Structure 1
């Protein structure tokens, strides 16, 4: 890759599951003590729209048993009855007793089971009649990927039949993966994974377990669409799906294969938002734990965990701290009843940095930061780092000094929105505006324009000024940052982070120019002229991208070398206090607006 060029990014699109299984969704909103549950995502089924083929349910199943017609009741045998005496209902959660093998509707149980998913097989359940104590007993187990795929395909099949499509084959990327992703917390007992490598595991599992899954890698005409490969269940009788389903299928086929998801143990490198049981790595006295779940571990001197998740693969991670204003903090912290359950996001809040620095997590991993987080050094190809704070209105300024710039290295410095690509030079996409060291070219959306003669090099101190007037739509309105309290919390190396999914295509569509906005660059105190005007509206962060091993020092204020004298502006350091106030108000507004809904029993029971 040349110093002043970068290849176009390959565009990729994601298809979210867009149909919602309505029947029984509201009826299964209960919870089980000691299980890892959170808010149930709607069961979904995506339209692939990429293949002309229609997969229909066969009149007989693969094992020779004539399946019953799938319906909203789906009754097949009168001796398999719930307490209510009614037949089975495939559209809601049902549990099979491990002793009598009868099926029970979740709405007929006296025991809260949590927000589960229909056709799940990773549980044990005994009814009142079979349990010697006369009470129901339910426990959820960690599933393997084969079980998760069976559950996903069964729900997609039932949903398709309910809609009248009668499809039996479904796209891995557009339907199966989105279903598992939406319902992860309700199908498993472990938190979501940071890396998306499990997508490949799902594919390999369904491809390998030919006793359970059937596949189609191209259409009958030989065409491979963007929806391929398709997968379905070998045995189409959904009433047979129960906790012993895999054993039943494999015994009927006379083969034995296995695909393990894991033992369920979460290591220190994994992600977890569950509370620990007393005794799990904690010293307890009189049954009470000593280590609080609502106390944040001490941060290193640089103000951020040394080991942390990076913003990449379409997800961003926001470091969180316990919110002292959140309700029910003491009840949650002191009671052992919540052990093994996820920590609600509203008990935490975004941690606001006390200084404007280069972000540890909002950067390409190959870039090296100094201990004070004010110097960045490049490595090989172009990549970028953003500052910890951004601005959306006002006139703001920061400086950058070139410490080292070996031959054939280069920089592009300027302003970036939070969705600008970190693995590309600043100004590569629609979310950034930059000034390049070579030839003094300015860049936006991969287009270079002549700006200043000669560019800049070692020893030069550059100034970056941005003017963002308040838009007409925001006149008279209170503009607050996101509270993040409704996002899931993920654990990484003892610290909790809010996980935010990037909606890139939606953000691109919503971009619009901000009238009278401007960006101006300075070199050693000299105004180099207006670089950009009417830039896209949004929040802008100081950003720098580097090519090869050049090194740049940032100065966010208050002591600048060449603060502009031709215009009134604020140093980026002045945004810190405002950001803390705005974030605190946003968090409090969330708690007030949702007062009455933020109940621990509303989450767990």
Structure 2
């Protein structure tokens, strides 16, 4: 089996998890035929009961028709005739469907063997990439699937002659990602007006029947949404079982989706119960050990795709999912990278080069958060602070997440968000006279195991001599500084005709676009057996410049001009015990008097 970033193992423990679910169309038809035969026999044996039998026939037909209502809606094409053999042909032309860029939906709303609309939970075929309703897959009759669970390989019978389905082991990071994704989804549904009562004693791994759930509307304006939701194809074909989580607790009762705390959930009261309730769907290959929650907690800390409530909002024990691309992982090329290969490697049809390149690029972006050497803004932080993951591990960060120090040789600390365009200003207070420091700006390629200004990717102002540094070279600039001084940092990054909209609108852009920006900042990935490619030559940004201020005073000329085009982080490097404190604004001790600027904290405010 191919190795994956998640170290996934093939789960050969047995067939898919069985549970109660709506009866399949084939079973309903067989039951209907049996009922009709029984009624005909009754008619032949006892003519006096003809009326009763006719009534029974009508009732049976009504029951059956109610059960397969969603299978008989007036959408085309219709479900192929059910036979004992596998379905070998779609009732539509697969090649005529027009899919979106990420292959999540098609314009025609045609899916599955049945050709009906897409439901919430769908299973993707690795060969043709079509999406299938869980109930239409005969191999999975009676099975459940959590929303967003992509850790499987499936081949439909049209592609492979018979259906093939394999589940794979999930590690704790995968389990947490799917758990938080479902908790978020349930909370959004709650806000939209459709909620389900918690029913003590119910096995929540089983689909809840209408008798065990009570749908409620939060307001009259959402009652129609609640009604339509209960009768839509998404319930019958969507195989979206009412898998519940514990109620939202008092702290997490924030119901404003615009509030970033909306996405946070209690580890003890929400995350752990959800995993325990849905253990068979998330951890079917794992033995539930006595202290399994400890492994879950460690994965939250080390997973690099989760936001800490303590770090961001002083909410201890709360966590949020930092990524929003889980549904894109249900992708053949991505699975080829992280899961074992599918049994049948024959593809239904050769993809166009454009689609193939898109899948490869999408996979490259999806793998970025798993690379320990890369820091991705927007994943782990909601606030402007010093980012532990964006700094050298030797850096000591104070409880305020603004004060930093370092005991020995030069090491760098960087902020949680960079700037790409605009005029920005922040300050750093010098807290003591111990050691030395070099302060300024750094790109993501700046060496965090060295001082700011060590390479071409960072620019510094040194305390001991008042000179400036980049590429390891010094030049005179201003006065030395020390304890009690406040150093100001101004950067201008003009918008040019070559500036992209995502660069202007950062960080309020699609997270894949954030990954794209991070990817472009990094050197080319080395290919085995080939000579490492040199980094792309630096591209100067016309009109850009950096200025440094000591207690509000700066030389009349910029420290650096036409600096390289890049994403720039506020940065500080300390030596032999030096301690400094960042101030990102909005209030400053010495705001520049002759420059228009925005406080660096405004990076997190929409324009």
* TM-score class, shorter: 0.3 to 0.5
TM-score, normalising length: structure 1: 0.40
Greater fraction strand: 1
Q: Which has the larger radius of gyration?
A: 2
Greater fraction helix: 2
